[in-house]
Amino acid sequence: MKKLFAAASVLALSTTGVWAQELQIYNWGNYTNPKLIEKFEAETGIKVTITDYDSNDTALAKVKAGGHGFDIVVPSNSYIPIWVGEGLLMETRPDQMPNFKNVKAEFVDVDWDPGRHYTVPWQWGSTGVVVNTKYYDGDINTSAMFLDPPEELRGKINVVPEMGDVMSLSIMYYGGEPCTNDKEVLKKVRDGLVAAKQHWLGMDYGNLEKFAKEDLWAGVNWNGSTFRMRLQNENVNYGYPKEGFPLWMDSVAVLADAKNVEEAKTFQNFVMDPENAALISEFARYANGINGSEPFMPDDMKTAPEIVIPAELVEKGVFTPTCDPETQKLYTRIWTDLQK
Amino acid sequence: MAEVSEMSEPTAGALEREAERDDNRTRWLLSLPAMIIIVLAAAGPLLVMVVYSFLTPGDYGNVKWEFSTQAWVNTILQRDIFDDTLMWADAHLSIFWRSLSLSLITTVMAFAFGLPTAWFIATQPPGKREFWLFLVTVPFWSNLLVRTIAIQELIRAEGVINNLLLLLGIIDEPLQMMFTNFAIAFGMTYVYLPLMVLPIYAAVDKLDFRLVEAAHDLYASRWRTFWRVILPLIKPGIIAGSILVFIPSLGAYVTPRVLGGGKNLMFGNLIELQFGQGRNWPLGAALSLMLMAAVMVSLIWYVRVTSRERSDV
Amino acid sequence: MSEPIRQPRRGYSVRSLPGFAVVAVFTFFALYAPILILVAFSFNAGTSLAIWEGFSLRWYAQAAANEAVQEAAVRSLILAGVAASVATVAATMAALATTRTRRFPGRTMIYALINQPLMVPEIVTAVALLIVFAWIKVATGHTSMVYLISAHTAFCIPFAYLPIRARLETMDYTLETAAKDLYASPWKVFSRVTLPLMWPGIIAGYMLAFVISLDDVVITEFVKSAGQETLPTFMLGQLRRVVTPEINAISTIILAAGAILVSLFFWLSRGRR
């Protein structure tokens, strides 16, 4: 009798328990503000679990293989056409959700998700150059900072090993378009990179300390990361290469085989709210794509040169497209040659 | 067990053969759990890799189920990117050579520091030994990444070591240790040290010191005793330790990247690239199978060399 | 055991080798220097792992409040404990079977198989496991920790096996034969003679396996399912963003916990001696 009662109560509790609904988010590591999740859980009663990935390729491979258990994923723009093409995303029509009106005009109709049928903006940023202006006082808004560095900076340069971003920057420096397979341009790119490499000290992530402590004086880096460096060392400045620089945007998508569809849609709507978008930005220090979030953003982000692109250079920012497989192979060969 | 009966009667009788078969079966049964686990969760899935190495790369990663030997060819031969001439895949070869030399250096350094450490621990009084052993492994309970960053702090231009040397007046200017090959070797040795210490410790612990005593009684110098008596006796431990350091370090890439600056790919990076942005899983599979084959050959050689025939005991 | 019976007549003990103690002590210092730095910076008031800005307990407070990290840390420890235990048992059995013996059919194959996880870069095993396990997960709908546990156990086995084997190879059969001559059953011979003699090797193997599992990132990253974050994979994500001393705080806690646990173990086992 006792056993029956115990079993029954366990059953009852598990079906009508406190957390009746749940959501499995698959996101970049250290990219989700815990305060955002707390707010979401408090407002909706949905329990959220976050699992991390560290690269678009890992995420793609894992989800494609199946049996993952995630509902939401946050891929970068250049990968989203791949996700859609492989049938991995659910067409949730965020453009018909209540909060959609808050999305900034320039991010509504984007190349990788026309009309926003699948994804919702999470954060966006740029990849450019970082220079410690104590050691160099010329114009820093150029990719020459790492491709043809001035005397003063040689030997103290770091280039983040992001093949896509570095290739885009280099191609645009040598006059091409991202994802080009013009062999003339690519030969210049390959030779230029290999020649420049001798002036580099390293090709690694995790450089905040090294720039702050001035082990490194220049390099390729993301804007948000450079922002954090500047907070530690005010001589560190971000440059937007005038030859062209890549923009990226991570967007929230629902997986085609998600189990908690309604909760996932709720989350997509939730992040389009200005206050919530500000929470997202405040954590990783990148801009978001939602109107009206400015009042809620931390003060230092409102005017930071890393976040607000100078008017004359806005045009030079290009969202990296998805390169076709043949071109991608070519780039990998060049990249391997560079690092051999 | 079977050894006793083997040593007693040389006549090849049915009884003896049966005992031998029993013995074989026992050995197989004992090895079974380890083998099953590995077949299910390590070696077995590798068959997938073998299959994949004969397929075509998918457009966006993964594979297309079309047979192709392109991947295997590309491990050693490639077409030049721009003029299509056939040539050796020198990128792969130079990367492999780099990883190989680094692994060798790491193994030697680990041995140089690991042997005295293991000896020291094993010659402590019995109660204390486990304590020192534990002391050796404790640093490795912390996370690799954090440890590596901490090592950086030691060898930076204004780091602890340089400051100490400057203070003692041994040098006038800070030594550039970061991002050098020295840094990589140091970091790798640090990471793999317990793998060398533990097996050697296990061997030294069982060393019969009466043999060492005997050597001394016969007027051998300490060095001679070490070389001719001690080393051969603890050889199994040394070899085990070397294997445990050498082979994993061949595929290492986090430590070399963080401490060496990452300008140059290690073999592990090269393979990882194929599964990542390179989107060429078949090539990644082929490259790693080649590595595995090379290593397997050396390991089999190890078995032959170290296992003595027991009948001559 | 093998203690010298008579006092050495020379001025030194046969157990000491010139310079070895110095190198050993230096090695211990070198091992712990980064650890001390790591622990020191866990008390950093600033956000950097290298720029000291004063003393503070903020990271410990943050770690205490960070459920995700705690869950990941606990999961890592349990995973390592279970994987190392199973691996050590399996490795011990395999070592007994393949060491100190004549050639028997299949010995080389067993040996190669057992060491196979060592021979392949982790990324390859990781992707292979992703594919195979994904098939199983889709077919059975089962996504528990069993996949991670089996993956970790598998690659821990060679790490446990080699020290145990090294130990076994230095043991001859004298004592075991003596026990048999005294009419001990095979099991008694094993449990009273062989096992205690092997014990240092088994401990060494266990510790190695535990540490290896605790630090694994690549295989775990690919095999994990939703909600199965471990500490290293959690930190991998931080690598590209920002690493804060919170990780130092967690590492220090784990170190301290490990130190306490193992001290307890030694204190208890001393009582048995």
Rounded CA separation A132/A118 (Å): 40
- Specify if A6 maps to a domain: no
3-state helix/strand/coil string of A224-259: HHHHHHHHHCCCEEEECCCCCEEEEEEEEEEECCCC
Q: How many structural domains does chain C have? A: 1
ipTM over 0.90: no
User: Which chains does chain B touch, 3 or more C-beta pairs < 8 A?
Assistant: A, C
Q: Same domain, yes or no, for A164 and A208?
A: yes
Q: Is residue B64 part of a domain?
A: no
pLDDT tens sequence across C48-104? 766 778 888 888 888 888 888 888 888 998 999 999 999 999 999 999 888 877 777
User: Has residue B223 got a pLDDT over 90?
Assistant: no
Half-sphere exposure of B43 (CA within 13 A, CB side): 21
- The dihedrals phi and psi of A273, each to the nearest 5 degrees, come to -80, 135
Confidence at residue A132, expressed as pLDDT on a 0 to 100 scale: 92
pLDDT at C89: 95
Statement: residue B199 has pLDDT above 60: yes
Rounded mean pLDDT of A230-259? Answer: 91
Q: What subunits touch chain C, counting only 3 or more CB pairs under 8 A?
A: A, B
Q: Is residue B209 part of a domain?
A: yes
Contact A30 C134 (CB under 8 A): no
Q: What CATH number did the domain enclosing A265 receive?
A: 3.40.190.10
Closest by Cα among C212, C202, C214, C190 to C88: C202
Residue B133 banded pLDDT, cuts 50, 70, 90: confident
- Which one of C12, C120, C262, C267 makes the best mutation probe of the B interface by having the most chain B beta carbons within 10 Å? C120
Phi, psi angle pair for B56, to nearest 5°: -100, 145
Domain-located, residue B102: yes
- 3-state SS string for chain C: CCCCCCCCCCCCCCCCCCCHHHHHHHHHHHHHHHHHHHHHHCCECCCCCCCCCCECCHHHHHHHHCHHHHHHHHHHHHHHHHHHHHHHHHHHHHHHHHCCCCCCCCHHHHHHHHHHHHHCCHHHHHHHHHHHHHHHHHHHCCCCCHHHHHHHHHHHHHHHHHHHHHHHHCCCCHHHHHHHHCCCCHHHHHHHHHHHHHHHHHHHHHHHHHHHHHHCCHHHHHHCCCCCCCHHHHHHHHHHCCCCCHHHHHHHHHHHHHHHHHHHHHHHHHHHC
Q: Is residue B295 part of a domain?
A: no
Same domain for A327 and A189?
A: yes
Q: What is the pLDDT of residues A77-122, one digit of tens each?
A: 999 999 998 899 999 999 999 999 999 988 988 888 998 999 999 9
For A29-34, what is the mean pLDDT?
A: 85
Please compute the mean of the pLDDT values over residues B281-288 and round it to a whole number: 88
For the cut 90, the answer to whether the pLDDT of residue A40 exceeds it is yes
User: Is B95 an 8 Å CB contact of chain A?
Assistant: yes
Give the nearest partner residue to A203 out of B61, B261, B273, using CB atoms: B261
* Residues A174 and A318 placed together within one structural domain of the fold: yes
Q: Domain total for chain B?
A: 2
- Inform me whether the pLDDT recorded for B124 exceeds 90: no
User: Has residue B256 got a pLDDT over 60?
Assistant: yes
Residue A152 and residue A190 share a domain: yes
Cβ–Cβ gap A29/C239 under 8 Å: yes
Residues 6+ apart with CB under 8 A from A256: A87, A88, A89, A90
Is it the case that residue B114 has pLDDT exceeding 90?
yes
Query: A138 and A152 share a domain?
Result: yes
List of residues 6+ apart from A16 with CB closer than 8 A: none
Residue A221's H or E segment, with its range, is strand A218-222
CATH number at residue C170: 1.10.3720.10
The verdict on residue A252 lying in a domain is yes
B89, closest residue in chain A (CA to CA): A337
Domain assignment present for residue A52? The answer is yes
Listed residue (C77, C258, A136) closest to B139, CA to CA: C258
* Mean pLDDT within A52-70: 85
Residue C78 has a pLDDT of 93
pLDDT at residue C258 in the model? 73
For A144-164, the pLDDT digits (tens) are: 999 999 988 898 899 988 888
Residues 231-250 of chain B with CB under 8 A from chain C are 233-234, 236-237, 239-241, 243-244, 247-248, 250
Within a domain: B123:
yes
Domain span including residue C221: 67-241
> Do the chains contact at C38 and B146, CB–CB below 8 Å?
yes
Percentage of chain A lying above the pLDDT 70 cut = 94
- Same domain? For B265 and B188 the reply is yes
- Residue C13: the pLDDT is 67
Of A204, A215, A329, the CB nearest to B156: A215
Flag whether B66 is in a domain: no
CATH of residue B134's domain is 1.10.3720.10
d(Cα B278, Cα A331) in Å, to the nearest integer? Answer: 8
Instruction: Give pLDDT, residue A192.
Output: 92
Asked, for residue C38, whether it belongs to a domain, the answer is: no
Q: Testing the interface with A: which of B48, B66, B81 to mutate, by most A Cβ within 10 A? A: B81
Same domain, residue pair A188 and A314? yes
Regarding whether A316 and A253 lie in a shared domain, the answer is: no
Q: Does residue A68 carry a pLDDT above 80?
A: yes
* C81 located within any domain: yes
A7 lies in a domain?
A: no
* pLDDT-above-90 percentage for chain A: 42
Considering only CB atoms, A339 lies closest to which of B57, B264, B280, namely: B264
* Closest to A170 measured CA to CA, from A188, A150, A153, A195: A188
pLDDT reading at B61 higher than 90: no
Query: Positive or negative CA dihedral for B107, B113, B117, B120?
Result: positive
Q: Which of A183-187, B6-10, C224-228, C253-257 has the lowest mean pLDDT?
A: B6-10
| Closest chain B C-alpha to A34 CA, distance in angstroms | 23
Range of the domain at B11: 1-51
Of A118-122, A238-242, A330-334, C82-86, give the lowest mean pLDDT range. A330-334
What's the pLDDT at B306? 65
Question: Residue B229's pLDDT is what?
Answer: 84
Q: Does C39 map to a domain?
A: no
Q: Is residue C131 part of a domain?
A: yes
Query: Which of A251-260, B135-144, B190-199, B272-281 comes out lowest in average pLDDT?
Result: B135-144
Tell me what pLDDT residue C7 has: 47
Q: pTM for the whole thing?
A: 0.79
Residues B179 and B119 in one domain: yes
The verdict on A186 touching B (C-beta cutoff 8 Å) is yes
Q: At A273, list the tokens.
A: 């709210």
End-to-end CA distance of chain C: 15
The reply to whether C142 falls in a domain is yes
The total of other beta-carbon atoms located within 10 Å of residue C31's CB is 22
In a domain, A277, yes or no: yes
Do A318 and A187 sit in the same domain of this protein?
yes
B155 plus B258 within the same structural domain = yes
Whether C230 maps to a domain, the answer reads yes
- Chain A CB within 8 Å of residue C227 CB: yes
- The residue among B18, B34, B51 that closes a domain is B51
| Structural domain contains residue A3 | no
The more confidently predicted of residues B278 and C152 is C152
Among candidate residues C31, C27, C185, C162, the one with its CA nearest the CA of residue C98: C162
Give the angle A32-A35-A38 at the CA atoms, nearest 5°. Answer: 105
pLDDT (0 to 100) of residue A23: 93
Interface with C, mutate which of B143, B221, B266 (most C CBs under 10 A): B143
Residue A3 has pLDDT above 80, yes or no: no
Q: For residue C13, how many other CB atoms are within 10 A of its CB? A: 12
In this structure, the answer to whether residues A168 and A294 fall within a common structural domain is: no
Residues B222 and B151 in one domain: yes
A chain contacts of residue B162, beta-carbon cutoff 8 Å: none
* Co-location of A189 and A328 in the same domain: yes
What pLDDT is recorded for position C90? 94
The verdict on a CB contact (< 8 Å) between C138 and A66 is: yes
**A54: domain range?**
13-124+248-302
Q: Tell whether A89 and A174 lie within a shared domain.
A: no
Q: Do A186 and B82 touch (CB under 8 A)?
A: yes
B26/B130 same-domain check = no
Asked if B39 lies within 8 A of C180 by C-beta distance, the reply is no
Q: Please provide the average confidence, as pLDDT, over all residues in chain A.
A: 87
- Contact residues, chain A, for B158 at CB < 8 Å: 213
Domains contained in chain A, number = 2
A28 interaction partners in chain C (CB closer than 8 Å): 237, 240-241
Q: Do A212 and A147 share a structural domain?
A: yes
Residue C80 lies inside a defined structural domain of this protein:
yes
Extract the residue ranges of chain C whose pLDDT is less than 50: 1, 6-9, 272-273
**Residue A8 belongs to some domain of the structure:** no
Q: Is C233 within 8 Å of chain A by CB? A: yes
Query: Which of C188 and A268 is assigned the larger pLDDT?
Result: A268
Asked if residue C257 is part of any domain, the answer here is: no
Residue A262 is predicted with a pLDDT of 92
